[in-house]
């Protein structure tokens, strides 16, 4: 059974689930535990190194993924870089979601308000 491990800070949309199922034949989506999600979503910008903070994330990934499983990785740039390389070493397929930004500007209470909407387009593999 092919899985997608989710190393990011959101829940998948229905559209993203369908894309994963169609493109990668994903049958199971594996979210981080609440504790690990807290770690992944709140990596401190003050750390000199991420090696200690990513130990549990790496362990989770190793325990839950099999060769050729897909890993959706988005978040802190350094953590993403580290985990993409880690996943490639394990022969996993690291991906990220691409989006189209749609900007809307309108008047509200006599003030100009700008709103950005990010529309999911596809998953792209890290090269």
The answer to whether the beta carbons of residues 5 and 33 sit under 8 Å apart is no
DSSP state of 9: S
- Extract the tokens encoding 39: 């770690």
Residue 59 tokens, joined: 């362990």
Is residue 127 situated within a structural domain? no
What are the tens digits of pLDDT across the range 58-96?
999 999 999 999 999 999 999 999 999 999 999 999 999
Contact assessment for residue 49 and residue 27, using Cβ atoms and an 8 Å cutoff: no
pLDDT in tens, 7-31: 999 899 999 999 999 999 999 999 9
User: How many Cβ atoms sit within 10 Å of the Cβ of residue 55?
Assistant: 11
Domain limits for position 25: 3-96
- What is the domain count for the chain? 1
- Give the residue from 89, 48, 69, 55 showing the smallest Cα distance to 1: 69
User: What's the pLDDT at 7?
Assistant: 98
Residue 103 inside a domain? The answer is no
Query: Does residue 106 lie in a domain region?
Result: no
């Amino acid at each position: 059974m092919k899985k997608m491990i989710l190393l990011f800070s959101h829940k998948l949309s229905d559209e993203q689930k369908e894309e994963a199922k169609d493109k990668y034949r994903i049958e199971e989506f594996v979210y981080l535990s609440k504790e690990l999600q807290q770690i992944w979503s709140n990596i401190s910008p003050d750390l000199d190194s991420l090696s200690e903070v990513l130990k549990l994330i790496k362990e989770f990934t190793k325990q839950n993924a099999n060769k050729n499983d897909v890993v959706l990785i988005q978040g802190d740039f350094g953590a993403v870089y580290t985990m993409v390389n880690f996943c490639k070493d394990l022969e996993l397929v690291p991906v990220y979601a691409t989006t189209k930004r749609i900007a809307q500007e309108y008047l509200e209470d006599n003030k100009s308000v700008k709103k950005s909407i990010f529309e999911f387009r596809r998953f792209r593999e890290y090269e």
